[in-house]
Amino acid sequence: MDLHDPQYQGFFDVPVDNLYGKPLIKRYIQQNIPNFKDAVVISPDAGGAKRATAIADELDMAFALIHKERRPTKYTEQRNASMMLVGDVKDKVCILVDDLIDTGNTITRAAKLLKKEGATHIYALLTHGILSGDAIPRINASAIDKMVVTNTVPQRDHMRVCPKLECLDVSPVFAEAIRRVHHGESISVLFQHN
């Protein structure tokens, strides 16, 4: 689901279907974010812009982008990457959208910038919640009000220690994909009208 790099499909000797989390994320936005049409969908980096703009366009919402500029130094790149917001979030609910969160550095730094730029409420919606290292304490201390991930990675232990974390169940998507493959039906139909 939501392969981080579609080229991964080439490493398998059998057909691989990349399932999409976008319908789940869109449904969450529609059902759980009050006045969602007035909110702004934001990509925390240029790599996720296509995903975020697709959601914003399909839900008729505004879009913004966070641009990271890395300046080479003798220190780690992560500490020296400056972030710049392209778009307006003042007095808006912000919805950060990405495919995964690992350590949480990028998404929490993005949330801090959004709050500084006047965001009223910050959601982070991500398909894969790896949440390694200090990710949970980092999220708990961040400007993020609600983080939503799927259960492509088990989240029970993370949810016990992170009150901001919510988990969406992807099993119906996988079950329907398996049923469709078994009966020789199209997988792409799953994602055409969601």
| CA atoms of 114 and 116, how far apart (whole Å) | 5
Q: Is the pLDDT assigned to residue 102 strictly greater than 90?
A: yes
Q: Is residue 100 part of a domain?
A: yes
Q: Is residue 13 part of a domain?
A: no
The pLDDT score that the predictor gives to residue 74 is: 59
Helix 22-32 to helix 49-58 angle, to the nearest 10 degrees? 50
Confidence bin at 80 (pLDDT 50/70/90) = low
Q: What is the residue range of 73's domain?
A: 35-167
Q: Is residue 155 part of a domain?
A: yes
Q: Is residue 18 part of a domain?
A: no
Q: Is residue 154 part of a domain?
A: yes
pLDDT: is 194 or 30 the higher one?
30
What confidence tens digit (pLDDT) does each residue in 124-182 have? 999 999 999 999 999 999 999 999 999 999 999 999 999 999 999 999 999 999 999 99
The pLDDT score that the predictor gives to residue 73 is: 63
Q: Is the pLDDT assigned to residue 51 strictly greater than 70?
A: yes
How crowded is the C-beta side of 62, counted as CA atoms within 13 Å?
Answer: 14
CATH number assigned to the domain comprising residue 146: 3.40.50.2020
Q: What is the pTM of this model?
A: 0.91
The pLDDT score that the predictor gives to residue 17 is: 85
Q: Is residue 120 part of a domain?
A: yes
The three-state DSSP-derived secondary structure of 126-183 is EEEECCCCCHHHHHHCCCCCEEEEEECCCCHHHHHHCCCEEEECCHHHHHHHHHHHHC
Q: Is residue 3 part of a domain?
A: no
Q: Is the pLDDT assigned to residue 67 strictly greater than 80?
A: yes
The pLDDT score that the predictor gives to residue 72 is: 65
Range name among 11-20, 88-97, 121-130 with the lowest pLDDT average: 11-20
Q: Is residue 97 part of a domain?
A: yes
User: Considering its fold, how many domains does the chain have in total?
Assistant: 1
